[in-house]
Structure 1
Amino acid sequence: MSTSPAGPPPADGLLSAARRNLRELAHGLSHASHPPTPLLAGAPKRWQRLSPYVVVLALAASFIPITINVLTTRYDVPGGVAGALAVGQAAPLLMLAHRPLQAWWIIFPSDILGALVLLAQPAGKLDIWPWPPPVIVAYMFVLLAIGLRETRRTVVCVWLLTGAAGLVLHRVDPERSNGSALLVFMLGAVMLVIGAAVRERGEAQRRLAEQETISEAERAQRTLLEERTRIARELHDVVAHHMSVITVQADSAPYRIDGLSDEAREEFTSIAASARESLGEMRRLLSVLRSDGTEGERAPQPGLDRVQQLVEATVRAGLPAELSLAADLGEVPPAVDVSAYRIVQEALANVIRHAPGARTRVSITAGAGHLTVLVVNSPAEQARSPLETTGTGHGLVGMRERVRLTGGTLDTGPLPDGGFRVAARLPLPPAKAPSAQQTSEES
């Protein structure tokens, strides 16, 4: 029983792979792997961005006259031919800052043409052929620039073509060839390796910086979500209190109000049932928010009535702080009450962590429909290192979220003397107008 071949002959596969690799190599040599942006274009300082242009301008201005002088004095090349060769071999150095591969395509054929021109001149005892000294030095700069900008495949191709050209010229006149072809081949490998190593290190640093930026953004988002969850847990108590009041009032209304119709009694019963259902939903939501098992947060949330205790505890901890609390703040909504306490708490904690020993002043006043919370600290009086040099950002993020939740404004920042200021304005409900009965009684 005969079997059909499983695939094409191996020779065809090798030829296809060779053709494909040759196409890739040709594409790498004919197309730069980077946009024509200058080297160090992303540097932060202007002199750093201009330095590549200064270097390539100095290289071109140096090698053009040096090449002309060497060709005319050492190799007896006519001045016009020497000038043309010098322009082809050194002028493209101006392109190294942004198009090194294109500069190589001009310099490399010009160097080969120069080697062929030198064959027509009488050989001197100290002449170096096929690559004169200016060509060797300038070509090293070209290879270094290619290593800094191009891919590994392109770098290897350039190196192999350089070695192949040197080998062919050596075979053309072995007696005149005195080792410069091998020298360029070996030094070129060193320059290409150095350039590639620097390029890959720069790419690794860039990728690391991008990853750090992404990680910082994710950390900030996580901090924001944690603070919002924490605020939601605290506000649960406030909302649950109001829902409980609604339930009690709806249940007791038929007993407190005489003469209610059956429709009204059913309406109060429906209101109480809806309130109980809402409370159950809130408890289930709270169990999700407290999935980390923080049972201690079920305690009633503190408010402005405990700010005095908070400041006294801070003073006992070693922070000189004073409190100015208005005697009559008026009606403060529960959400604003909790938020104001937490803002003072976070501000004092930040002072303890980042400016231990600094004199701190806490002021809470009410007026113009707003509750103003102000925490100002001076620079630390003693030269002590802070307890924390870096923070998670939870404090300021939590303050902003609380202020945004209540519809207020927050202003934070350093002071000219080195201290820090936290100022929050939280809205208060408008004052109730006196009723007509109260007005008549007063009159």
Structure 2
Amino acid sequence: MISAVLQPFVLAFFSGEADPPPARSPRLRRRVPQALRPLVPFDHYDLVQLADLVVAGLLFWITLTELVPSGRQPMAQVYLTAVAFSLPVAMRARWPLAAWRLALVLILPSLHVVRQITDMHPPYLQPAIVMYLLVLYSLAARSDRRVTAVGWLTSVLTVWIIDSKSMALASVAMTVILLFGYNVRVRRRATASRDEAIGERYVMAERARIARELHDVVAHHLSVIAIQAEAVPMEARGDVARLEAGLAEIRGLSLEAIKELRQVLGVLRDHEGRADTTPPPALDRLDDLVGNARTAGLTVRVKRSGELEEVPTAMAVSAYRIVQESLSNAMRHAPGSAVAVEVVWSGGLRVRVANGPGRGPGDAPGAGHGLIGMRERATLLGGSLEAGPTEGGGFEVEAVLPVESGS
């Protein structure tokens, strides 16, 4: 119980640490002029910290102008008092907790010097008021709430020691400043938590997009390559020329798969280190996709309708991937089947891929990631996708993408 009560005081006076400085807007960070760089050990300066230094200099100068003319106190004490009313302000941006501790230690002897010189009662010189309120704000904006509570209690007791009659007004002023600083800290932490959550959401969405793209690319090309690798030796039957032609086709499919994987991962670079800007495959490459499927043994019939070159890019890419995944599923689960591909552009895009039963046994049903990826593509564009078996042992996929999704 006692340790729980004492812990906030230990944090406030000894072991506590302030929050790191908040991220500055780029407008608040300026480059040091070229002529001054040999004279300073840094390339940029912070306008907020510079403002604190200016305020600290003003407080130092005002204190001197208030105390020096009297000549009633040694100049060393006058200068030390001016330092006490200015140094904590210069420190508060980088070391807010240390600045408050220093201000608290120096405030009583400094105000005693002011009282001796000016006969003020209470001896609240304006620089002292400004300095302490600024330091209190930094304490509350950058410290744990327990430390802030100790700061309030200690400050109120210090005012009571200096002048009990002014305790009520001074306490109200300090309370307002501390509450304002605490509110700023809460808002900063809430904003940071929100930004972190948004960042995590973006990361998850990007991971899902990359996984979807990788699945589409790998599933399609590897299915074709696997079927070709099995079919080429059987078709060649010892004919070296046919075998070499089949292997060259497999190599071409492999290179195309690698190219698409590099596009997805963003690692393709030219000799100058610039990112590859090759557009992703879309409906203009539908014939290549169908050709690969025919090479793998499918009988594919394609029907196009409408001005497909007018289809927006995002919609065309998703339509291509949906056809690609549907053909890959037909290769794996219904090898040798007849497939009908229909792409219609009319007030929106409709994509339909239907295959009949295979000529031989296909692979066992998978985990369904392909269907999930196709539905996600359609949903992201505001459309819908239906998929399921048909009479006679086939399978059909139909996606409808509204025209607004591509605008």
1:185 is matched with: 171
Which string of whole-angstrom CA distances, capped at 9 and with x for unpartnered residues, describes residues 195-254 of structure 1?
A: 22222212222222222222222211111222233335534763575477479879xx9x
* Aligned-partner Cα distance in 2 for 1:140–1:309: 77
Which string of whole-angstrom CA distances, capped at 9 and with x for unpartnered residues, describes residues 234-287 of structure 1?
A: 34763575477479879xx9xxxxxxxxxxxxxxxxxxxxxxxxxxxxxxxxxx
1:203 is matched with: 189
Q: Is the 8 A contact 1:43 1:49 kept in 2?
A: no
| Other structure's SS at 1:131 match | coil
Task: Summarize the alignment of residues 286-435 of structure 1 with structure 2, pairs less than 5 Å apart.
Answer: 302-303=290-291, 313-315=307-309
TM-score where L is the length of structure 1: 0.47
Matched, 1:96 2:92: yes
Q: Is the 8 A contact 2:67 2:117 kept in 1?
A: no
1:60 is matched with: 56
Q: Is the 8 A contact 1:149 1:199 kept in 2?
A: yes
Matched, 1:85 2:81: yes
In 2 relative to 1, CA 311–77 (structure 1 residues): closer, same or farther, beyond 3 Å?
Answer: farther
Please report how far the alpha carbon of residue 95 of structure 1 lies from its aligned counterpart in structure 2 after TM superposition: 0.8
Please report how far the alpha carbon of residue 189 of structure 1 lies from its aligned counterpart in structure 2 after TM superposition: 1.4
What percent of counterpart residues are identical? 18
Matched, 1:223 2:209: yes
* Aligned-partner Cα distance in 1 for 2:128–2:306: 80
Alignment match of 1:143 (pick from 121, 133, 136)? 136
Please report how far the alpha carbon of residue 160 of structure 1 lies from its aligned counterpart in structure 2 after TM superposition: 0.8
* Aligned-partner Cα distance in 2 for 1:56–1:114: 21
Q: Which protein is bigger by CA-based radius of gyration? A: 1
Q: Is the 8 A contact 2:60 2:82 kept in 1?
A: yes
2:145 is matched with: 152
Please report how far the alpha carbon of residue 50 of structure 1 lies from its aligned counterpart in structure 2 after TM superposition: 0.9
Q: Is the 8 A contact 1:63 1:134 kept in 2?
A: yes
How many corresponding residue pairs? 253
Please report how far the alpha carbon of residue 310 of structure 1 lies from its aligned counterpart in structure 2 after TM superposition: 6.1
1:398 is matched with: none
Superposed CA RMSD in Å reads: 4.4
| Other structure's SS at 1:57 match | helix
1:131 is matched with: 124
Alignment match of 2:4 (pick from 3, 20, 27)? 20
* Aligned-partner Cα distance in 2 for 1:83–1:75: 12
1:212 is matched with: 198
Structure 1: where are the runs of 5+ without partners? 1-16, 172-176, 254-299, 320-333, 339-348, 354-390, 394-443
Structure 2: where are the runs of 5+ without partners? 31-43, 238-287, 295-299, 314-326, 332-344, 350-378, 382-407
Q: Is the 8 A contact 1:96 1:103 kept in 2?
A: yes
TM-score where L is the length of structure 2: 0.51
Which string of whole-angstrom CA distances, capped at 9 and with x for unpartnered residues, describes residues 164-212 of structure 1?
A: 01112235xxxxx5x2x43332211111221222222122222222222
Opposite residue 228 of structure 1, the aligned amino acid is L
Q: Is the 8 A contact 1:148 1:195 kept in 2?
A: yes
Opposite residue 183 of structure 2, the aligned amino acid is A
* Aligned-partner Cα distance in 1 for 2:92–2:301: 67
1:415 is matched with: none
Task: Summarize the alignment of residues 259-270 of structure 1 with structure 2, pairs less than 5 Å apart.
Answer: none
* Aligned-partner Cα distance in 1 for 2:133–2:219: 67
In 2 relative to 1, CA 49–188 (structure 1 residues): closer, same or farther, beyond 3 Å?
Answer: farther
Q: Is the 8 A contact 1:40 1:52 kept in 2?
A: no
